[in-house]
Amino acid sequence: MTTRWWWVRHGPTHAKNMVGWRDLPADLSDTAQIKRLSAYLPKDAVVISSDLIRAVDTATAIQDSRPRLPHDPQLREFNFGAWDGMHWSKISDRDPELSRQFWEEPGDHIAPEGESWNQLSTRVSSVVDRLNGLYKDIIVVAHFGVILTQIARAAPMTPYQALGHKIDNYSVTRLDWNGAWQAHCINHQP
């Protein structure tokens, strides 16, 4: 059975600093956008989200009558550790070499007290692998980095290439699995 993954990035937080595991709420005031998004997504899909409030509340806003799976902490954004809440310039000042390597050579470079691209990818892929084949359509409300790890997996491409993709709030990235991956759309705006 083909499983169609409908990856949705949560609503905007309007944060100007790095946001990973900090539990910031989403601004869900654009009800017209939320309504368009919900209408675009398959009505018989199950909905799952990260356990961070910005993803949980966005999933609730688009859920309608769709069944809901429990929130999953494995679908959280990158754990940026000590960088979480810092401005990009402060991160660069604090860890100039590591901050450059983290984004330009993603893989095993770990944010201080946080995680690497490979750790995030393994964490998220474990959820995907567990759910593949159980449902026809799965809507996942998650985060920028989470979605990029699955794009890299499905496309396939390097982590650095995946980081070049823009993933807007409320965008949909559809990836299908039927023993092999196929990318259908990335960062679609309904």
**pLDDT score of 12:** 98
**pLDDT score of 107:** 96
Domain ranges across the chain: 3-188
Q: What is the pLDDT along the chain (190 residues), one digit of tens a residue?
A: 899 999 999 999 999 999 999 999 999 999 999 999 999 999 999 999 999 999 999 999 999 999 999 999 999 999 999 999 999 999 999 999 999 999 999 999 999 999 999 999 999 999 999 999 999 999 999 999 999 999 999 999 999 999 999 999 999 999 999 999 999 999 999 9
**pLDDT score of 88:** 94
3-state secondary structure the chain: CCEEEEEEECCCCCCCCCCCCCCCCCCCCCHHHHHHHHHHCCCCCEEEEECCHHHHHHHHHHHCCCCECCCEHHHCCCCCHHHCCCCHHHHHHHCHHHHHHHHHCCCCCCCCCCCCHHHHHHHHHHHHHHHCCCCCEEEEEECHHHHHHHHHHHCCCCHHHHHCCCCCCCCEEEEEECCCEEEEEEEECC
Whether pTM exceeds 0.85: yes
Rounded Cα gap, residues 83 and 68, in angstroms = 32
Tell me whether strands 3-9 and 46-49 are parallel, antiparallel or unpaired: unpaired
Domain covering 3-188, topology: Rossmann fold (3.40.50)
**pLDDT score of 158:** 96
What torsion do the CA atoms of 177, 74, 168, 89 make, to the nearest 10 degrees? -140
**pLDDT score of 159:** 96
